[in-house]
Each structure stands twice: as C-alpha cells, then as structure tokens.
C-alpha cells in the first residue's frame, strides 16, 4: 500500500520541490476535497474520477451471534467513480 509520504516523495522528485512542500500540498488538496464533499458538492478531477456524497437508506440488520434484529440508521457515505483512464481493463 502507498501512503501520503510515498506519494509526496514521488511528487517532490518529479517536480523539483521539497518532500515537505509536496506533502503539504497533497494534504491541503485532500482537505479541500473533503470540505467540498461535506458541503454536498461533487468533486471532479479530470482523468482521475468523481467524488460525491451518497445517502444510504435506513435498514434492518441481524447480529450474527445473537440473531437479534437491529435498526441501522440512514447515513452519508463517500462515493468514488473512477475515470475510464484509470479503470482496470
């Protein structure tokens, strides 16, 4: 798995900036994406994909151990739709 540090290292190497600067830009980019998703806006990054917020319906679920039925409330989830450029072929 690749984390922010590895991505920052790659970005720094290819763009000629410090790793710290690259990491800062990456973190701020993710912060902006999250802020806009929380506002209910879709975030489209050309050639990468679209982030959006989707509401899941409330539903009943069963505890497998006790077989008790519990109510799972509706909630927001982040949805990502990958660009055709990065989808597996």
- Confidence (pTM): 0.77
* CATH number of the domain enclosing 60: 4.10.520.10
Residue 56, strand partner residues: 75
Range of the domain at 29: 1-40
Q: Is residue 76 within 8 Å of residue 54, measured between CB atoms?
A: yes
47 lies in the same domain as 67 = yes
Residues 27-44, buried b or exposed e (16+ Cβ, 10 A)? Answer: eeeeeeeeeebeeeeebe
Report how far residue 55's alpha carbon sits from residue 89's, in angstroms, rounded to the nearest whole number.
29
pLDDT of res. 88: 67
30 lies in the same domain as 52 = no
71 lies in the same domain as 34 = no
18 lies in the same domain as 50 = no
Q: What are phi and psi of 20, to 5 degrees?
A: -60, -45
pLDDT in tens, 16-73: 999 999 999 999 999 999 999 999 999 999 999 999 999 999 999 999 999 999 999 9
Q: Which two tokens stand for residue 24?
A: 């800062």
pLDDT of res. 64: 94
32 lies in the same domain as 66 = no
Report how far residue 68's alpha carbon sits from residue 58's, in angstroms, rounded to the nearest whole number.
17
């Amino acid at each position: 798995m690749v984390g922010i540090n590895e991505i920052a290292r790659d970005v720094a190497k290819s763009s000629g900036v410090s790793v710290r600067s690259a990491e800062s830009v990456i973190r701020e980019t993710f912060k902006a994406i999250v802020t806009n998703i929380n506002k209910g806006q879709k975030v489209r990054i050309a050639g990468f994909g679209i982030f959006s917020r989707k509401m899941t319906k409330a539903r009943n679920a069963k505890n497998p151990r006790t077989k008790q039925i519990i109510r799972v409330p509706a909630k927001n989830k982040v949805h990502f739709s990958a660009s055709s450029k990065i989808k597996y072929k």
